[in-house]
Amino acid sequence: MKKFTLLTLAAVFVCSLAVAQNYKYEFTVVKENPATSVKNQASTGTCWCFATTSFFESELLRMGKGEYDLSEMYVVRKNYNRRTDDNYLRRGKGNIGPGSVSHMYTWVMDHYGLIPEEVYHGINYDSETHNHADLSNYIKVINGVAVEKKKRVPTEIMEGVLDAYLGKVPEKFTYKGKEYTPETFYKSLGLNVNDYVELTSFTHHPFYQQIPVEIPDNWDHALYYNLPLDELMEVMDYAINNGYTIAWDGDVSEKSFDFAHQVAILPADKDAKVREMTQYYEEIPVTQELRQQWFENFTTTDDHLMHVTGISKDQKGNKYYITKNSWGTQRNGTGYLNMSENYVRAKTIGIMIHKDAIPKAIKAKLGIK
């Protein structure tokens, strides 16, 4: 018994020493732009909508319109209607999963308007947080039957399922003493979908042209402006330093994406156990060629959308991008993380920004007015 106690004490001492030696990344804000509170997508694959909603809420703050909390689930619902039609016309070869990208938000906004969160929270089932496991399964079945029967999904069936899980959409609602429809509410915000563009950087397409990005969530095959990597990064820096924020689509599957410790890096040591945070890690420099290689061998995948709001630096002076996630605040205390410049260079699939957030010289190369 005494021997066991001594061994136990020794083990505790070693563990305590290891914890004390853990490296802690410390970040200093260089530039940060206003954003609304962190939300939680919970058990849904709707990060695209949460990130883009947050982006437009920041746009409203930037425009002096005040703080809004917009309904994510209203946009998710309308997106399901659209992708159901797309999947049917593609004879079941479309994408009817929950994932999408930022321009699908602007499509819904333009065609069906927006609704405040307090009017439509999108939870019509026994849960305090979003959970779309059952909804996703029903949507798959409904779409499968439609293709098998060679008949579009009846409106009353699709709307019935969406009503059951997300709640009925009000035709009219009162917000801050005024009556709106979703369309008139959107118009009251002063947003213009034509002001927003998506950018990317891949060498299998020409630069300075609009190109398709071959990812499953770009199921409507929309076009992105294609820039050299250095110019894409120049756009991001220019945007942030001039008061704009960025809807970011990229890869968070790397083991060096450590949300719990609020950091995402690309260590040069492939065997680095980054999530143990035992030391500072030198990063691999990311070139256009490496970025392309990782995209084409599926090392870089389209996993997640988040909202980039600022720039920070660590205690060694390295640059990071302050990023608002949609996983709530309980997992890391803030809901934010810092993605290193190298991580962003490698793992960005695409970004959405206001067209005025692009430097004039680059905008001219792209033919954007």
Q: Whole-prediction pTM value?
A: 0.92
Domain assignment of residue 327, yes or no: yes
Domain assignment of residue 271, yes or no: yes
How much is the pLDDT for 270? 74
Domain assignment of residue 15, yes or no: no
Could you give the dihedral angle defined by the CA atoms of residues 327, 328, 331 and 334, in that order, rounded to the nearest 10 degrees? 120
Pairing relation of β-strands 223-226 and 196-200?
A: parallel
DSSP conformation letters of 235-254: HHHHHHHTT--EEEEE---S
How much is the pLDDT for 23? 76
Instruction: For residue 65, give the nearest of 36, 39, 86 by alpha carbon.
Output: 36
Which residue is associated with the tokens 């009017």?
119
Instruction: Determine the angle formed by the axes of helices 155-166 and 133-149, rounding to 10 degrees.
Output: 180
The answer to whether 150 touches 142, Cβ cutoff 8 Å, is: no
Provide the 8-state DSSP code for 283: B
Domain assignment of residue 8, yes or no: no
**CATH code for the domain of 316:** 3.90.70.10
Domain assignment of residue 9, yes or no: no
Q: How much of the chain exceeds pLDDT 70, in percent? A: 92
Instruction: For residue 44, give the nearest of 165, 168, 214 by alpha carbon.
Output: 165
What six digits make up the tokens of 175? 């917000």
Q: Which residues pair with 196 in a beta bridge?
A: 354
Domain assignment of residue 140, yes or no: yes
Number of domains in the chain: 1
Instruction: For residue 349, give the nearest of 286, 305, 308 by alpha carbon.
Output: 305
At 224-274, the pLDDT tens digits run: 999 999 999 999 999 999 999 999 999 999 989 999 999 999 999 877 666
Separation between Cα atoms, residue 200 and residue 274, nearest integer Å = 28
Domain assignment of residue 189, yes or no: yes
The answer to whether 72 touches 121, Cβ cutoff 8 Å, is: no
At 275-324, the pLDDT tens digits run: 666 678 899 999 999 999 999 999 999 999 999 999 999 999 999 999 99
At 83-106, the pLDDT tens digits run: 999 999 999 998 988 999 999 999
At 24-80, the pLDDT tens digits run: 889 999 999 999 999 999 999 999 999 999 999 999 999 999 999 999 999 999 999
How much is the pLDDT for 204? 98
Examine the pLDDT at 169 and tell me if it is beyond 80.
yes
Domain assignment of residue 159, yes or no: yes
How much is the pLDDT for 240? 98
How much is the pLDDT for 205? 98
Separation between Cα atoms, residue 96 and residue 216, nearest integer Å = 10
Domain range enclosing 154 = 23-366
Instruction: For residue 66, give the nearest of 244, 245, 189, 180 by alpha carbon.
Output: 189
